[in-house]
């Protein structure tokens, strides 16, 4: 009988909890998602210290387990911290070191990078944190290779994100690792955020939120997304929308922030990324399915947008 128990995610809670960062982690890993199947994440709240645990504005948090609960976890998320100068309890730091030695993934959001740094886990590694604190992190822990302009950084089993909302990007990245691009896109769509956001993460591109349904432009973009393998020149787009070329460019830019050609290229690259991750199709077959015509043309455009060759992306994204 197949295993239907998904990865266990432990979200650490602590006194003066950062509610936004906690909510980002819980929204991705803690909510029930029947559409994802029986092997979706299991989530537990683990107390980083003895209670009572309070957040802002009188909110209290009751963990389900103490630090011994980390033994059951595959992934441990630290949603923010009390401040760059706040020392973490030694019991927590010891538990994180033990978890790291056991091969568990440790995910820090925003200022939680300082907790991993205090535990000595980021020594000699790449990491990021909120831009406001990146210089402090680098000065206080000179052996850490701080990447100040990244949304998130992955170095082995240690994953760190920049401030606040970048935690969502990192959590969705974890979903992509565990369940593939399609699942990550579904979660992002439920959250009404981009599945991939530019910001130092060259291997991923963002999906522009589509305009509201109804009208000729949404119908055109839907048709293009459904038939990306076909030739879609600007003349054809304008003809199908029954507007001039100038009007076409204006409408598409107002709706997506992109020119028609750039929007089309991003959709083709995004489809190619999904096919590289989700199928065993050859590079030639993906090139034709995504509308690049030839494998050589596909490789050139993919590398220019994503930063790596399709085969490299497939190997690293599907590990």
In order of their start, the domains of the chain are: 8-191 (3.40.50.880), 216-317 (1.10.10.60)
The count of C-alpha atoms lying within 13 angstroms of the C-alpha of 61, restricted to the half-sphere facing its C-beta, is: 27
Dist. CA 221–CA 240, nearest whole Å: 10
| pTM summary value | 0.64
Segment 230-271, tens digit of pLDDT: 999 999 999 999 999 999 999 888 877 788 998 899 889 989
Dist. CA 296–CA 284, nearest whole Å: 9
306, 294, 295, 234: which is closest to 269 by C-alpha?
306
Q: What is the mean pLDDT of the chain?
A: 86
Dist. CA 106–CA 184, nearest whole Å: 19
Segment 147-180, tens digit of pLDDT: 887 888 889 899 999 887 888 889 998 998 898 8
182: left (phi over 0), alpha (psi -120 to 50) or beta: alpha
Q: What are phi and psi of 84, to 5 degrees?
A: -65, -25
């Amino acid at each position: 009988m197949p295993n239907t128990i998904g990865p266990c995610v432990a979200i650490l809670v602590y006194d003066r909890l950062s509610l936004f960062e906690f909510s980002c982690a819980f929204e991705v890993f803690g909510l029930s998602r029947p559409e994802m199947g029986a092997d979706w994440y299991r989530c537990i709240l683990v107390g980083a210290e003895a209670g009572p645990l309070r957040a802002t504005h009188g909110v209290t948090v009751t963990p389900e387990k103490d630090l011994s609960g980390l033994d059951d976890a595959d992934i441990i998320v630290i949603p923010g911290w009390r401040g760059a100068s706040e020392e973490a309890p030694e019991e927590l730091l010891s538990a994180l070191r033990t978890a790291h030695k056991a091969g568990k993934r440790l995910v820090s959001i925003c200022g939680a990078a300082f907790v991993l740094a205090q535990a000595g886990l980021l020594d000699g590694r790449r990491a990021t944190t909120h831009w406001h604190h990146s210089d402090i992190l680098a000065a206080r822990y000179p052996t850490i290779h701080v990447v100040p302009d990244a949304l998130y950084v992955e170095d082995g089993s240690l994953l760190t994100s920049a401030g606040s909302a970048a935690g969502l990007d990192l959590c969705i990245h974890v979903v992509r690792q565990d369940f593939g691009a399609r699942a990550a896109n579904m979660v992002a769509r439920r959250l009404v955020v981009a599945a991939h956001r530019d910001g130092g993460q060259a291997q991923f591109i963002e999906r522009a939120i589509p305009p509201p349904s109804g009208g000729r432009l949404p119908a055109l973009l839907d048709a293009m997304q459904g038939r990306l393998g076909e030739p879609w020149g600007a003349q054809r787009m304008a003809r199908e929308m029954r507007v001039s070329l100038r009007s076409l460019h204006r409408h598409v830019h107002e709706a997506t922030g992109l020119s028609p050609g750039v929007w089309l290229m991003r959709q083709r690259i995004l489809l190619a990324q999904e096919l590289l991750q989700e199928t065993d199709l050859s590079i030639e077959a993906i090139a034709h399915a995504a509308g690049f015509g030839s494998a050589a043309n596909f490789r050139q455009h993919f590398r220019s947008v994503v930063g790596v060759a399709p085969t490299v992306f497939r190997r690293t994204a599907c590990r």
